[in-house]
Amino acid sequence: MSLASKVSLFLLLTAAGLHAGTPSIPDWVRQAAAQPVPAYDTETNAVVLLNEETDTIVSPDNHIEHVRRVVKILRPDGRNEGYLAVWVGHEEKLVSVHAWSVDAAAHEYELKEKDFSDRGNASYEMYSDIFVKSATAPAAEPGTVIAFEYEIRRRDYFNELNWFPQEDIPVRRAVLTVQLPAGWELKEWWSGMEAAKPTSAGSTGWQWLKTDLPRIEDEPHRPAIDALAGRLTIQFYTETHPLGTDWAAVAKWAAGLFHTSSATSPEMASKVQELCAGKTDFDSRVRALTEFVQREFRYYAVEIGIGGFQPHPASEVFHQRYGDCKDKANTLAALLSLAGVKSEMVLIDTHRGVVRKDLPSTYFNHAILAVELPADVPDDRYPATVTTKAGKRYVIFDPTDEWMPFGHVRAQLQESYALLVTDSGGELIKVPMLKPDSNQLVRSATLQLGADGVLTGEFQEKLTGDFAERLRMEAESANQQQRTQRYEQMVNNSLKNASLQGLSFDGLQALNQPVDIHYNITADRYAQVMGSMLIVRPRVLGVKTIRLERKPRKYPLLLSGAAYETDSFDLRIPPGYAVDDKPDPVSLDTPFASYKSHIEVNENKLHYSREYVLKSLEIPADKIEDLRAFENKVSADENAAVVLKKISSSPGQ
C-alpha cells in the first residue's frame, strides 16, 4: 500500500473514532505546542515553535545530527509544512525518524519510520546515492501542530557545519548544540544577523540560541532565501586536522579533489587536434573547444559519495559525453590544456549573495571555469574578465550554459563571490557585472499608417548576450509554430487586433554572432479615428516598464541584468494628414537606469526613437520608490500619443 493510501486509511479510521493504538506524544512536543502564539499578520501561514539541532562530532569524518522541529499551521497556505523530509547521503545512516501531529480538535496522530518512503533527490541526476526519506503528516490543516524528529549519522568531507536559524516563516525558538570529542576545538563565523553568544553544553559542548526571528518574506524578485537568512558557520578541528580559517584553505581542499581528475587521453588529444586544426589564435581555439563541450555534453549527474564533490575523470566524461557542472568544467579544462590554454576551476553559487566574503565555507552549489588570458590579449576583449591579486587575468565561463558565448556569463552569476581554485591555493574573486552593451536588444521598423487606422510594417531585431541566450534556449525546444506563437504573444502585449507574418531567425546556432529576427505585422484599428483626427501611439512595440507591487518592500529587487535596448520606428502618416501635436522629448537618468525618447517629423514621416539602459543587477529596498517614480514616467511616455489632423488638399475645401 502506498504512503498516500496508508495516510488516507489512517485518517478515515481516526475520524470514525477507531485507533489502532494511542499515539505517544513526547513531552517536548507538548511543551512546544503549549506556547502562546503571538498575533501575526495575515500573510504568515505557519510558525516554528521549536527548531532544535544537536550535532555530535564522532570523528574527523562523521558526526551525528539529531533534529527536533515543531511547527503550527496558522492558515491554509501553511499546509506545505506537513511535508516532512530528511536527505541521506553516501555512507550515511538514518538512525531514526518519527513524526506526530495534533489537530485543532486535539486529535493526535503518529507517523513511524515505516510510514516514510524513499525518493530520489533531483530529476537531473542519472544516479545519486543521496535519497530523501519523506512523508506527509496527517491533518496538516490550520490549527494543527506538527512535530518531526530524526537522527542521522552524517559523512563529513570538510569539518564544517552551516546553520540557518531563520526561515520563510517566523521562528519562536532555534537552538544549535555542538558536542565535541575531547581535545577538539571549534571556530564560529556569523553573517546576516547579530551573533548569539555560545553557552557551554556539558564539558565539551557549546550551544547557540536564537528566539523570535521574523520570517523572510516572499517578495517578488527578491534574493534567494539562503542569501537573506542569517547564518552561522562552524568549523571544528584538532592539531592533526587543522582549521580551514580562510578561503585559501578551502581552495586547497577543493584543489585536492579537482586536480586528481584532470588526466587526459589519446582520444581527447585527437579531438583537440581535429577541432583546433588551422586555428592559431587564442580566441578561435578556445571558442572551438568551449562550444564543443557546451553542445556535445549533456548535463546529467552521476554522484556517488565523494562524486558529489569531486569531478569524474575527464577522460571518462569525455568518452561518455555527459556530466554535471563540475564534470563539464573539469573536462573542458583538460581539453584546453591540450590546446595550450591554461584554466582553473571555480566554485560559485547559482544565487547571488549566498557565498559571503566574510564567511569562508564550502557552501557552494555550482562549479564553472576561469580561462587564463594570454598577455597579448587586451583586457576589454571579453566582458567577463577578472584580475587576481597576482595580476593574472581570467575569463569566467560556465560550460553548462549551452547558448552563452565564451566571454560572457549570465546575469545570475554576475557580482557574485566565487572561489578560484589553483595549485597554489586560490583566492576569492568577484565575478564582474557586465556592461549594458554586452546585452543588447536593438529593434527597428518601417511602418505605414492608413487613414482607416490600420498599421502595417516590417520589423527587425538584433539580440546579443542574455537576450540572445534566452531566445536560443527557447528555440532549442520549440518548433517554428511555437516560436511564432511566442512572438504573437509579445506583439499582442503592445498591439490589439494585430497579426504576425513572415517570422524568420538568423544566427540561432552561431553563438559568437547576434541573433537577427525579421517579421511583419498588421494591426487593425491601431490609430483611433476621431472625426478629422487620428490618435496614434508612436511607441508601436515593446514594453520596458517593470511591474511593481504597491506595498512597501523589505528586500532588494533583482533585475534581469544590465542591458541596452533601443527602438527606432519610421512611421509614414496617411496622405492628407499632418502632425498637430506630439509628446515632448523625455530624458531620465538614475543610478540604476536611464531612458530617452524623441520624435522627429519630416514631411509625411514620423520618426520615433528611444533608448532604455539598465545599469544595475538589483535595486536596494530603500530605492524602490525612486524606481517606481522612474517607471511611472517611462509608462507615461510609452502610452503618449501623437495627434494627426486632416488637412485640406486644396484651397476652399
The domain ranges of the chain are: 3-237, 248-432, 437-646
The class level of CATH for 248-432 reads alpha beta
The class level of CATH for 437-646 reads mainly beta
Per DSSP, 1 falls in state: -
Q: How far apart are CA 387 and CA 379, in angstroms?
A: 9
**Residues sharing a CB contact under 8 Å with residue 565, sequence separation 6 or more, in sequence order:** 440, 441, 442, 443, 542, 544, 611, 612, 613
Say which residue the cell 535519497 belongs to.
131
Alpha-helix residue ranges (DSSP H) falling in 92-241:
225-228
Residue 124, pLDDT score: 46
Tell me the whole-structure pTM to 2 decimals: 0.87
Q: Is 445 helix (H, G, I), strand (E, B) or coil?
A: strand
Q: How far apart are CA 392 and CA 374, in angstroms?
A: 9
Contact 643, 535 (CB under 8 A): yes
Contact 275, 227 (CB under 8 A): no
Residue 224, pLDDT score: 95
Q: How far apart are CA 359 and CA 604, in angstroms?
A: 64
pLDDT tens, position by position, 559-595: 989 999 999 999 999 999 999 999 999 999 999 999 9
What's phi and psi for 460, nearest 5 deg? -130, 140
Q: Spell out where 141-191 has E strands.
A: 145-155, 160-163, 171-179, 185-191
Q: How far apart are CA 470 and CA 483, in angstroms?
A: 12
Residue 444's DSSP bridge partners are 460, 568
Residue 13, pLDDT score: 36
Residue 190's DSSP bridge partners are 232
Residue type, 225: I
Residue 539, pLDDT score: 95
pLDDT tens, position by position, 501-514: 999 999 998 898 99
Q: Is 332 helix (H, G, I), strand (E, B) or coil?
A: helix
Q: How far apart are CA 394 and CA 288, in angstroms?
A: 18
- Residues of the chain with pLDDT below 70 are 1-21, 120-129, 241-245, 260, 301-308, 648-653
Instruction: For the sheet with 498-506, list strands across it.
Output: 498-506, 515-523, 455-463, 440-449, 563-572, 605-614, 593-602, 586-589
Contact 588, 633 (CB under 8 A): yes
Nearest CA among 555, 630, 625 for reference residue 352: 555
Alpha-helix residue ranges (DSSP H) falling in 339-387:
none
* Domain 3-237 belongs in CATH node 2.60.40.3140: yes
Per DSSP, 327 falls in state: H
Residue 425, pLDDT score: 76
